[in-house]
Structure 1
Amino acid sequence: MTTTTGRLARLPGLVLRCARVGVIVFGYGLVIAGSAVGARLRGSPDGRGLRDGDRWVRMLTRLGPSYIKIGQLLSTRRDLLPDEVTVPLARLTDGARPPGRRRIERAVRHAYRDRPWPFREFEWTPVAAGSIATVHEAVTVDGRRVAVKVRRPGIERVMWQDFTLTSAAMRALGLLPRLRRMPFKLMHGQVGGAILRQLDFEAEARSLTALRANMTGAAGKVTIPAPVPELCTPEIVVMDFIGDLRRFEPGELDGDTRRSVQRAVLGTVYEMLFIDGLVHCDLHPGNLYFDLNADLVMLDAGFVIRLPDPVRRSFADFFINMAMGDGWSCAQIVIESAAEVADDCDLDGFRAALGELVAETSGAKSGEFDLARFAGRLFDLQRRFGLFPAPEFAFPLLSLLVIEGMIKGFDSDLDFQAEAIPVLRRRNIPRDAPSAVER
């Protein structure tokens, strides 16, 4: 009875949220479509239409944090989208519109209502504002210079509403004949649940500590701010302040430094994926920077996922076999790790089709290899042949998709797959059976 009553109480808010999203999308859709059609009728190549990045930014900002996150991820794919779109979208990574000072101050004061005020100085104007939080510079009472990440007031309710609405959309998508067998509900629960966990700032503080420990032995130098656990709350993360940062972009870096940066980033991501299993899925330009020595600085640990060991092992085996051009082993790994295999699945046909795909991409340089296209074709093969992957595989794939789009501009001759092999070969992974690599 209580559960039913709670659902009914939330229903008006869901209806209003759904109506707001629909009105905003419909309104901006009409404007964007009208602009594109008008440009075509005038024969103008400069028509804005879909390329009007500023308009996309305004729409996503009005839609709210869940949609701003989509814009942040899209801003990293400058290899797939035009600069007119990605450059404005990049503002969403750390330049979103912050709440008013009064709301921020009320939220911070409330977080420390049961303890003495811990700050000697606090800058209420944010140094950065993202989709979920604002970041402020402060000095603790003992003189420690810190960054204070403050959860946006009211964001929890909006994100839960969006989660509920997208859950309903996934269920509806699963009713389509061609997609009926895809586990959309399970995938949404995993990925959507991980996005909602970004609201737990105490968990983020623990992730910062874990990432710092893991990166100590990494090949490249990576700086991650240390949290101050005694000052962290469910709505506040307090960590060391790192100043003098530069945005993660090629800029004036020479060729050798660009290649060094690219290898350092890939090495860091591969360490997370194949060795530690603690994966940062949100390394957009608002979370990844350079220091003055062009070493990497990784901020924020909200969207960090612990991969189950079977997923980590299978993903690593798939990657090394793809790099070696062994399509048969790649197919076998997909089959063995599938969450479900349809009764009418043509396993031999799947092996042959995936073998062709791997042969096309093996050894491709960063300028030639398109992970987004590869993942789309792999997903289509799985759908056609009735092989349904465990939803946790979405996380390492998302991590690579985000970072691939960011580093392609540094060096187009680097071999993404070959760079992973040194990390893969020094794995120390106990297995009950011989690896596909060992066959």
Structure 2
Amino acid sequence: MGDAGTERSGLGRRAVRIGSVTLRHTASALGGAVFRRGRGGSVSARLAKRAPAMLTELGPFYVKVGQLLSTRRDLLPERWCDELGRLTDTVPPPSREQLEAVLAEEFGPAADRPFAEFDWEPVGSGSIATVHRAVLTDGRVVAVKIRRPGIVPLMSSDFRLAGALARATGRLPGLRRLPAEEMLGQIGTAVLAQADLAAERDALTQLRANLAAVKGVRLPEPVEGFGGDQVLVMEFLDDLREFRPEPYRPEERRDAMRRVLRAVYQMLFLDGLVHCDLHPGNLRLDAAGEVVLLDAGFVVRLPDQVRRHFGEFFLRMALGEGRRCADIVIESAARVPADCDLEAFRTEVEQLVGDASAVVAAEFNLAAFAPRLFKLQRRFGIFAAAEFAFPLLSLLVLEGMIHSFDPGVDFQGEAVPVLMQALSGG
């Protein structure tokens, strides 16, 4: 059997495995819905509840896709987004033998490797890579991120199979308006990019340069000359604390949140290179109270037009100019149905922005605003381009932390100076 035949055979086996897992979880959900009818056990609710377990069993590609889909409230019902938001990718690490094999590919035999010490027990273990503490032969303490062996072919196969499913889904009645194939293409590409550790090294370097002027914000520095697309070597940042309010004083919390917001707004509105995965696990505080951003695997480059559209939307929302907000959503959309009532959409967005503008700045709630906007988009069939949706939804991840740190923070007001600089061409 040739290479093409072997590949088809492998895809076939993987398709059977995916079908088997999917059918088992679906049957369990449907059976539960039958027995719980009339007691909150609807089919949709049961399927949504089973989704995290099913995607976890299917593997890292599906876990990552589920995590990203959980942010797409413009596309999926809130129940599904809530359930998918429970997905985690903390999984057991590979064996030492498997890790040894990756290091041998990157650095050669043990005697030629640049490590005087290497801790095989990882300090972090995700679905795509593990992170280990090590000491270089020159004495520098480093963090070594190692991609799981065999993960790229598996994820690539799953991407191809999911693409075929998305194309089939797009032909079903009632789902033809949903941009399933485009959505999977954007999300799947972002997921596969997280396995490229050479790209992450470049992203870290660029983010460090872009954010150098933001005081009190740090990112680990990649170590030049080591690693490739399977291994990333960077400085080991010690004495890091979880990103939580205790034990900091109110003024320290406010300073920390302002630094986070300044960094995020710099990325979103000025640089266009955006860290889209700033959940609590990827944020830390060091002993001096400085903010540390970790794991630059999910970094998106915004096209200039998208960056300006996003910045203007945020500014117009802060100023209460709902009609212009609606036009920006339309102009930046991935798809607008030919029969869409655009005037009705503008009217409803104007009302939504007007309602948000009626509250005082400290009480503005993006987590309440965004789902209402997404519901409108879903009803009118105006689906956001991923390049536009991801930055907005990265702010949603931050908002809960922001208000827990400093309930009085002016989420929009902190953005205005950066927005004015961005929109003036600065």
Q: TM-score, normalised by structure 2?
A: 0.83
Q: 1:86 to 1:176 in 2, by over 3 A?
A: closer
Cα deviation, residue 319, structure 1: 0.9
Cα deviation, residue 170, structure 1: 2.3
Q: Deviations over 1:307-354 (max 9, x none)?
A: 100000011111110111101111222333345554434332222122
Q: State the alpha-carbon separation in 2 of the partners of residues 403 and 165 from structure 1.
A: 33
Q: State the alpha-carbon separation in 1 of the partners of residues 280 and 93 from structure 2.
A: 18
Find the counterpart in structure 2 of residue 164 from structure 1.
Answer: 160
Residue 151 of structure 2 is aligned with which of 116, 133, 155?
A: 155
Tell me, yes or no, if structure 1 residue 315 matches structure 2 residue 315: no
Q: How does 1:233-244 map to 2 (within 5 A)?
A: 233-244=228-239
Q: State the alpha-carbon separation in 1 of the partners of residues 249 and 29 from structure 2.
A: 39
Q: State the alpha-carbon separation in 1 of the partners of residues 66 and 284 from structure 2.
A: 19
Q: How does 1:165-244 map to 2 (within 5 A)?
A: 165-218=161-214, 220-244=215-239
Find the counterpart in structure 1 of residue 391 from structure 2.
Answer: 396
Find the counterpart in structure 2 of residue 410 from structure 1.
Answer: 405
Q: Deviations over 1:152-172 (max 9, x none)?
A: 011111211221222223223
Q: 1:188 to 1:86 in 2, by over 3 A?
A: closer
Length, aligned pairs only: 410
Q: State the alpha-carbon separation in 2 of the partners of residues 73 and 185 from structure 1.
A: 15
Q: State the alpha-carbon separation in 1 of the partners of residues 232 and 123 from structure 2.
A: 15
SS state at 1:349 partner: helix
SS state at 1:400 partner: helix
Amino acid at match of 1:192: G
Tell me, yes or no, if structure 1 residue 14 matches structure 2 residue 5: no
Tell me, yes or no, if structure 1 residue 290 matches structure 2 residue 281: no
Q: State the alpha-carbon separation in 1 of the partners of residues 380 and 232 from structure 2.
A: 41
Cα deviation, residue 108, structure 1: 1.1
SS state at 2:91 partner: coil
Q: Percent identity?
A: 47
Residue 361 of structure 1 is aligned with which of 356, 362, 386?
A: 356
Cα deviation, residue 146, structure 1: 0.6
Q: Deviations over 1:225-281 (max 9, x none)?
A: 110131021101000000111222334444444443333322222211111100111
Q: State the alpha-carbon separation in 2 of the partners of residues 411 and 34 from structure 1.
A: 46
Find the counterpart in structure 1 of residue 75 from structure 2.
Answer: none
Amino acid at match of 1:283: L
Find the counterpart in structure 2 of residue 142 from structure 1.
Answer: 138
Contact 2:166/2:181 (CA < 8 Å) preserved in 1? yes
Find the counterpart in structure 2 of residue 304 from structure 1.
Answer: 299
Cα deviation, residue 413, structure 1: 4.2
Q: 1:143 to 1:284 in 2, by over 3 A?
A: same
Q: State the alpha-carbon separation in 1 of the partners of residues 296 and 99 from structure 2.
A: 21
Q: Deviations over 1:352-401 (max 9, x none)?
A: 12212222223563557425513522432551xxx454442233134223
Q: 1:228 to 1:285 in 2, by over 3 A?
A: same
Residue 379 of structure 1 is aligned with which of 366, 377, 380?
A: 377
Find the counterpart in structure 2 of residue 24 from structure 1.
Answer: 21
Q: State the alpha-carbon separation in 2 of the partners of residues 356 and 111 from structure 1.
A: 57
Q: How does 1:108-119 map to 2 (within 5 A)?
A: 108-113=103-108, 116-119=112-115
Q: TM-score, normalised by structure 1?
A: 0.80
Find the counterpart in structure 1 of residue 42 from structure 2.
Answer: none
Q: 1:85 to 1:357 in 2, by over 3 A?
A: closer
Q: 1:154 to 1:406 in 2, by over 3 A?
A: farther
Q: 1:102 to 1:405 in 2, by over 3 A?
A: farther
Contact 1:191/1:394 (CA < 8 Å) preserved in 2? no
Contact 2:367/2:399 (CA < 8 Å) preserved in 1? no
* CA root-mean-square deviation: 3.6
Contact 1:274/1:427 (CA < 8 Å) preserved in 2? yes
Which sections of structure 1, spanning at least 5 residues, go unmatched? Answer: 44-48, 432-439
Amino acid at match of 2:59: G
Contact 1:205/1:237 (CA < 8 Å) preserved in 2? yes
Tell me, yes or no, if structure 1 residue 427 matches structure 2 residue 422: yes
Q: State the alpha-carbon separation in 1 of the partners of residues 180 and 54 from structure 2.
A: 26
Tell me, yes or no, if structure 1 residue 68 matches structure 2 residue 66: no
Which sections of structure 2, spanning at least 5 residues, go unmatched? Answer: 40-44, 73-77
Amino acid at match of 2:191: I
Contact 1:366/1:414 (CA < 8 Å) preserved in 2? no
Q: State the alpha-carbon separation in 1 of the partners of residues 52 and 287 from structure 2.
A: 30
Contact 1:371/1:401 (CA < 8 Å) preserved in 2? no
Contact 1:76/1:403 (CA < 8 Å) preserved in 2? no
Find the counterpart in structure 1 of residue 322 from structure 2.
Answer: 327
Contact 1:262/1:407 (CA < 8 Å) preserved in 2? yes
